[in-house]
Structure 1
Amino acid sequence: MASNSASDIVDAVGGPGNIASLTHCATRLRFQLHDGDKASKEAAEAVPGVLGAVPQAGDRFQVVIGGGVQNVYNEIMALPEMAGAAGAAAGGRDGESDADIKARERAKGPRGTNAWLDSLFEFLSDSFRPILGALLGASLFITFMALMATLEVIPAWNAPGVTLPPSWAFVNLMWQCVFVFLPLMVAYNASAKIGADPWVGFAIMAVLMLPGFTGLAAGVDKTALFGFEQAQVAIVQVWGLPMPIADYSSQVFPPLLMAAVLGPLYKGLKKLIPDNLQLIFVPFLAMLIMIPLTAFLIGPIGVYVGAGLASALAAINTFSPFIFAIIIPLAYPFMVPLGLHWPINAIMLLNIQTLGYDFIQGPMGAWNFACFGATAGVLFLAWREKDKDMKQTATGALAAGLLGGISEPSLYGIHLRYKRIYPRMLVGCLTGGLIIGIGSLILGLPNGITTQAFVFTSLLTIPAFDPIGLYIIAVAGAFIVAMLLIIFSGYKDPADAAAPAAATAGAGAATTGAARDTIPAVAGGQELAGVAGEGAAVAPAAATATAVAEPDAGVGALLQVASPLDGTVVPLDTVPDPVFAGGVMGPGVAIEPTGDTVYSPGAGVVAAAQPTGHAFGLQLDNGAEVLIHVGIDTVNLKGEGFDVKVRNGDRVEVGTPLVSFDRAVIEKAGYPLITPVIVLNADQFDTVDPVALGPTTHGAPLLVIQQKA
């Protein structure tokens, strides 16, 4: 691409002054703009060499180039007009590329359509998700203590004035360590997410939890902050100003608000202070400003906000535990995918701290077990249909749910993919809520089902709920109803359900056709049955390819591209990225991986091995230029979780490992693992067709390419 074309791209996005940051992945330029409205999709796509342009929420703009994106990026950065913006455009720390790490389009819902809402959900989610393991572990200790108290092995372990023997008191400390210091963990995560030094955020919040800080209120009576009994503070005079001092143990709203203020302040200080002085003075000034501000204002506001939300929910529950028991299970299936459940979790912690019990987790258990019941129904059908991929997904999701109380694997791995599941799951939620509501009325429970500890609602934490009998009946009802509805009505749409049968029928017909007429097609000098000369055995799907791609007289030879992954082959238009889904890069398919290694799909040469490990370009001996893009937006991980096995120019054969990836790292960052496999030079061939959709293994035929006659 000529430099004037590079200049045209800059003009199309609003000029160099509109570019806050510029990065690139294997195929596209990624602009973070100051004003997204100034960018023109039409102007960008009119530039020679540009394959497409994709405006995105949050003033983000992508320009699709293809394999030569590195050269175009270099040409743009070398433009004289970019000299003043080079630091920010290159994605330096003064730019916004770090804040752009997890931004991606969402096909549905409010996320992805409003940048501020998307950022808020990600801020809440990333503030809590890294500590889920610690919370889960602590919840099991709590359940164990509750079980021991139920069996009368120990006295009521959390009752006021109860002193436990040293051995049991030590066990009790094993969960208190997490919840007492939870504000510090949240402060660290939230500060890191917002772009500030996480240890500075940790230190600011730690001041409010020092024994010396709380000791300032010694001998001072506590009062209800703005009339909220849940917000008890002592007012002391510091520098002649009233400072509200509260117990910040287990509080999460104060550190969240503190981090939200610290982030912009930290970035502003870095812009004002010279680079060679930032290491010392940015943290110092941030702490100098934020510690008094948090102690006098932000901390008390956080306590007040939490207490206000808790009081509102408590008022609803007090007014009608029956209504509350129905609302919570029916609301949670929509709150969890949006990230709105994180503030509710904070309120549960506040209820336990101030009231001594929580009334939300019982009804929440009805939702969780309905979710797990729907997953169990899917697992039953997957076993019956011999769907290996779905069996693996559902088994892992069900284990995470029943043993850990974690619903996300079920939601994101299954339920949100099949629209028939949610209505049936909601019936299970309603069943559990009705049982709790009616049972509370019959038993005269003013607060419904309660628990004295914050736990994840799983099989292991059932002993933590009171009354335990009503809770067991409710969650069992929710689980069984959702499971049976899925089993009897199915979870796939009619078209989805018909696909496996059609594929099976097609395979049978192809096998018959192949036996009747043997096709003397060659693939790069090799028989069609052998992928790129490896002599691989013909997979069942290969027979399908023979029938689908059977050439007429005078049509060119057939070539094959093997599957680079173990997983499930899906149409390219299911990829949650408009560039791939729209076929801008070329035709192909996508694979939902079940393994953790990407292999070469044919014999050839590595044309482009991205050091981040997220994408590979291969020039195969049969003439096909293949792009393998591991996940969507995974370039933003900057190589974290990827172990690259090859370099540019390396010779590869079918089955040569290209990269291994850590699924946990990618999934934790929130990126889809779906992997497009694209033929970049499709215009040199007559057709590029998938062999078959459905389960595949690496080395099995994936794409069949017909050469021009």
Structure 2
Amino acid sequence: MSTAAQGTEALAEAILRGVGGPGNIESLTHCATRLRFQLHDGTKADQAALDALGGVMATVPQSGDRLQIVIGGAVANVHSAIMNLPAMRAGGSPRPQSDADVKAAARAKGRGRYAMVDNFFEYLSDSFRPLMGVLLGSSLIIAIASVLDAVGLVDFRAADKSASWVFVDAMWRSVLYFLPIMVAYNAAKKLKVDPWVGAAVMAAVMTPNFTGMLNPKSGIPGVTCTTNGTLGTQECVAHVFGLPMQLNDYGGQVFVPLLMVGVLALVYKGLQRIFPETVHLVFVPFFSMLIMIPVTAFLIGPMGVWAGNGLGEGLSWLNSNAPIVFAILIPLLYPFLVPLGLHWPLNALMLVNINTIGYDFIQGPMGAWNFACFGATAGVLLLSIRHREKEMRQTATGALAAGLFGGISEPSLYGIHLRFKRIYPRMLVGCLVGGVIVGVLGGVDTNAFAFTSLLTIPVFSPTATYLIAITAAFVISMALVYFSDYLTPEQRAAATAERDAAEAAAATAESVSVSEPAEAADRELVTVGATATATATATSKTAAAPAVTATPGTELAAPVAGRVIALDEAGDPVFASRALGEGVGIEPADGHVVAPVDGELVTVVDSGHAFGIRTPDGIEVLIHVGIDTVQMKGAGFDVRVASGQQVKAGDLLVEVDLDAVRAAGHPTVTLMTVTNTAELASVVPHTGRPVAVGDPVVTVTR
């Protein structure tokens, strides 16, 4: 098994534990960036543990015991790894239904407007989400054709183009034209109705027999047509069995299948209660189609078209009469709509516009938001490189790649922007500037449903206007985030301190790995020599600083006098998590900080608040003076040693002005940890007592 596969499997196992185990999973699906869990008990999910996982960008709890875990582009692999775990071979476990559960489910039907809104947008999302791949594929096909058209290789819009390019048209139009059938299938599946019945009902009003009546020259009596002056669309009415039926071309419509399936679910489930289960296969689909096809053709279809056209006309009016307002409004709304899943209605309107008037005017201004989002991510990436933040660099790199080449904003939003409140105001400035440029320069249109990425720029017209707008949005957001930071000064100082501590630990580990062969050969001699030297040093110094040697079963000494406390009480979450190893904290009685053990100083930070020591036999010790004291930039710290220097237990490392530390508002607690705890047999802290310099406070066993 490859290293990457092993990492994915380990992440899958950790996620499974974090959601409460396989027994707590009712179902699991995924979208382009997120795992979607339906849990039996949402309270069993350990959100903090899940957020702490390296491959997890964010967790998003939802009502009804639903939980989304944002993974990013690797979501399909992680989903597959989870489903392939031995514990998940049976898939999700059905929720057991006791009498109490049945009553609770009945009560939950009226659980409030927020759950209903959540369910509605979940319905929209699940109806569209599985189609994102084919929608993106079709948008890239037309993008390639538009590039060829732009460079003069083919007239992509010519009425008399060759059969080859007519076929290319079919490749991308297939998705948009038959989109209602696909949406109906997904929506029916979401509402636990036979999805093929939903697809069949929608297909009935898209057959050549039905659409043939839209042609006034077809010779079918009773068909009359009028033209919508605003949108330029044709509306036809036919009398069927004496009843007027509005005829529409339902290709590309999305409101119609969404409305239709909502009614179909009521009809289908009602028929299931009427007919015996033994004849469900025949009569439930039969009567569902017999009822729903006429209802869709006479009522739901026209209502869906009216709703879509009404919204389209409203936005078209705003775009025509106040283009600057429209161009600004769209990119400023999207940053708030997308995280809540409220952008689906606007996405649906884009498809309606393309289907009815042949182009869309929403996606152009929307591009300003997307590229402002990606620009903010680029700013974070530059900061992560500047500040040597490996985890954020990896997160931002993946999110930026997904955005620039796939047009997907969720990795940026969930992985970065929603975690740091300083990003949104700066990103909104980029949205505003991009929207103003689109409005002032007369708007941007497209005749394709296109994910706004670098690859789809050619599908927007005028391309130059669009390119100027998205470039401005990207650069401004990136610059604002980079120069003002996504962290507050206090957060940046804390992050820098954590980074310094982690780098000190890593440097110690690297030094150990480099010198390990020589140490293995001479370990016994070094240990004996170190013991003899430390004993001589202890004799020549005060009794307050006895030598402590790094031998199996050794006692590490207190680097400062004071009261010993556990890492959990020290007030620093990084040390409390044991990410930097097991150890102790000491509330210091004075600022005289000494080496707790013989060894080499592999790290001495410039600010003088942290020291890393590697002992002759490979024990790695980190001494960290105060919390967030990196912000003092060395003020109050008189460092007496240098990196690479050999020290003995009791040698003075630094004199600290504790009053200056307190005046700066920082805790003075001094922390000492064994950073390679995982490689040792045991590291046992001794807490809850006062100590003098040199008293044993940690027992190390190799």
Q: Map of 1:186-205 to 2, 5 A cutoff?
A: 186-205=183-202
CA distance in 2, matches of 1:458, 1:193: 29
Distance 1:479 1:57 in 2: 31
8 Å Cα contact 1:228-1:308 kept in structure 2? no
Q: Does the residue aligned with 2:206 lie in a helix, a strand or coil?
A: coil
From 411, 414, 419, give the equivalent of 2:413: 411
Of the three residues 373, 377, 385, the one matched with 1:383 is 385
**Separation in structure 2 between the aligned mates of residue 310 and residue 698 of structure 1, nearest angstrom:** 63
Give the structure 1 partner of residue 532 of structure 2.
Answer: none
Distance 1:250 1:61 in 2: 31
Q: Determine if contact 2:260/2:296 at 8 Å carries over to the other structure.
A: yes
The equivalences for 1:108-119 within 5 A come to: 114-119=114-119
The residue aligned with 1:461 is 456
Partner in structure 2 of residue 261 of structure 1: 263
Q: Give distance in 1, aligned partners of 2:113 and 2:687.
A: 43
Aligned twin of 2:35:
none
The match for 1:501 is 496
Q: Which moved more, 1:421-430 or 1:380-389?
A: 380-389
Which position in structure 1 is the counterpart of 2:224? 221
Residue 232 of structure 1 and its aligned partner are, at CA, apart by: 3.4
Contact 1:30/1:60 (<8 A) preserved:
no
In the other structure, the counterpart of 1:395 is 397
Residues of 1 paired with 2:381 and 2:106: CA distance?
A: 43
User: In the alignment, is the contact (CA less than 8 A) between 1:208 and 1:295 conserved in 2?
Assistant: yes
Q: Does 1:547 align with 2:583?
A: yes
Tell me how far 1:363 sits from its aligned partner: 0.8
CA RMSD of aligned residues (A): 4.3
Contact 1:519-1:550 at 8 Å conserved across structures: no
Q: Return closer, same or farther for 1:704/1:287 CA change in 2, 3 Å cut-off.
A: farther
Which secondary structure state, in structure 2, belongs to the residue aligned with residue 456 of structure 1? coil
243, 260, 270: which one aligns with 2:245: 243
Cα displacement string for residues 681-709 of structure 1 (whole angstroms, at most 9, x for unaligned residues): xxxxxxxxx999xxx999899x9998999
- Cα 1:178–1:399, aligned 2, differ >3 Å: closer, same or farther? same
Q: Distance in 2 between matches of 1:409 and 1:468?
A: 27
Question: Is contact 1:325-1:433 (8 Å) kept?
Answer: yes
- Write out aligned runs for 1:11-30 (5 A): 26=21
- The one of 453, 473, 478 equivalent to 1:483 is 478
Structure 1 position 509, deviation (Å): 8.9
Contact 1:549 1:704 in 2 (8 A): no
Give how far 1:151 is off: 2.1
Q: For residues 83-135 of structure 1, what are the alpha-carbon distances to aligned partners after superposition, in whole Å with 9 as ceiling and x for unaligned?
A: x689x69x9xxx899x99xxxx9xxxxxx971111011111111111111101
The amino acid of 1:497's aligned partner reads R
Q: State how far apart, in whole Å, the 2-side matches of 1:77 and 1:362 are.
A: 49
Q: CA deviation at 1:285?
A: 2.0
Q: How far does the alpha carbon of each residue in 1:332-372 deviate from its partner, in whole angstroms, 9 at most, with x for none?
A: 11111122221212222222222232211111111111011
Q: Is the 8 A contact 1:418 1:493 kept in 2?
A: no
Structure-2 residue corresponding to 1:351 = 353
Partner of 2:324: 322
Give the one of 234, 237, 242 matched to 2:236: 234
State the Cα distance separating 1:324 from its structure 2 match: 1.1
2:164 match: 167
Name the CA shift for 1:283/1:494 in 2 (closer, same or farther; >3 Å): farther
| CA distance in structure 2 between the aligned counterparts of 1:698 and 1:452, rounded to whole angstroms | 61
**C-alpha distance in 1 between matches for 2:181 and 2:676:** 45
- What residue is the counterpart of 2:656 in the other structure? none
State the one-letter code of the partner of 1:470. Answer: T
1:181 partner letter: F
The AA in structure 2 aligned to 1:123 is: Y
1:42-79 superposed Cα distances (whole Å, 9 cap, x missing partner)? xxxxxxxxxxxxxx9867799xxxxxxxxxxx9x979x
Which blocks of at least 5 consecutive residues in structure 2 are unaligned? Answer: 1-18, 27-40, 42-60, 68-92, 217-222, 510-544, 555-574, 589-670, 689-702
Asked whether the equivalents of residues 231 and 307 of structure 1 are also in contact (C-alpha less than 8 Å), the reply is: no
In the superposition, relative to structure 1, how do residues 289 and 423 fare at CA in structure 2: closer, same or farther (>3 Å)?
same
Conserved? CA contact 1:397–1:409, under 8 Å = yes
The match for 1:15 is none
Q: Following TM superposition, by how much is the alpha carbon of 1:255 offset from its aligned partner in structure 2, in angstroms? A: 0.6
SS in structure 2 opposite 1:131?
A: helix
Instruction: Summarize the Cα distance change of 1:57–1:479 in structure 2 as closer, same or farther, 3 Å threshold.
Output: closer
**AA at the equivalent of 2:304:** G
SS in 2 for 1:222: strand
**Alignment correspondent of 2:422:** 420
After superposition, the Cα gap between the structure-2 partners of 1:492 and 1:255, relative to the gap in structure 1 and judged at 3 Å, is same
Equivalences for residues 295-310 of structure 1 within 5 A: 295-310=297-312
Q: 1:57 touches 1:114 (CA, 8 Å); kept in 2?
A: no
Tell me how many residue pairs correspond in the alignment: 461
Distance 2:579 2:414 in 1: 33
Q: Distance in 1 between matches of 2:484 and 2:454?
A: 26
**In 2 relative to 1, CA 237–344 (structure 1 residues): closer, same or farther, beyond 3 Å?**
same
Q: Deviations over 1:627-673 (max 9, x none)?
A: xxxxxxxxxxxxxxxxxxxxxxxxxxxxxxxxxxxxxxxxxxxxxxx
With over 3 angstroms needed to count, the CA separation of the structure-2 counterparts of 1:211 and 1:311, relative to structure 1, is same
Decide whether aligned partners of structure 1 residues 228 and 438 sit closer, same or farther in structure 2, where only a CA change above 3 A counts.
closer
TM-score (norm 1): 0.58
Question: How much has 1:502 moved relative to structure 2?
Answer: 3.1
Separation (CA, whole Å) in 2 of partners of 1:150 and 1:463: 8
Residue 282 (str. 1) matches residue 284 (str. 2):
yes
SS at the partner of 2:401?
Answer: helix
Consecutive unaligned residues in structure 1, runs of 5 or more: 1-23, 32-40, 42-55, 63-73, 106-111, 441-447, 523-538, 553-689
Go from structure 1 to structure 2 and tell me whether the alpha carbon gap of 1:153 and 1:386 turns closer, same or farther (over 3 Å shift).
same
Structure 1 position 178 matched with structure 2 position 175: yes
Instruction: Give the Cα–Cα distance (whole angstroms) in 2 for the partners of residues 382 and 697 of structure 1.
Output: 26
The answer to whether the 8 Å contact 1:544/1:691 transfers is: no
| Residue number among 325, 334, 337 corresponding to 1:335 in the alignment | 337
Change (3 A) 1:540 1:129: same
TM-score (norm 2): 0.58
Check the 8 A contact 1:262/1:286 in 2, yes or no: yes
- Measured in 1, the distance between the counterparts of 2:269 and 2:289 equals 14
SS state of the match for residue 216, structure 1?
helix
Matches within 5 A, 1:77-226: 82=98, 114-155=114-155, 157-158=156-157, 162-219=159-216, 220-223=223-226
Show the 5 A alignment for 1:583-662: none
What does the per-residue CA deviation read over 1:587-615, in whole Å, with 9 as the maximum and x for residues that have no partner?
Answer: xxxxxxxxxxxxxxxxxxxxxxxxxxxxx
**1:450 aligned residue (442, 445, 448):** 445
Residue 126 of structure 2 contacts residue 187 of structure 2 at CA under 8 Å; is this kept in 1? yes
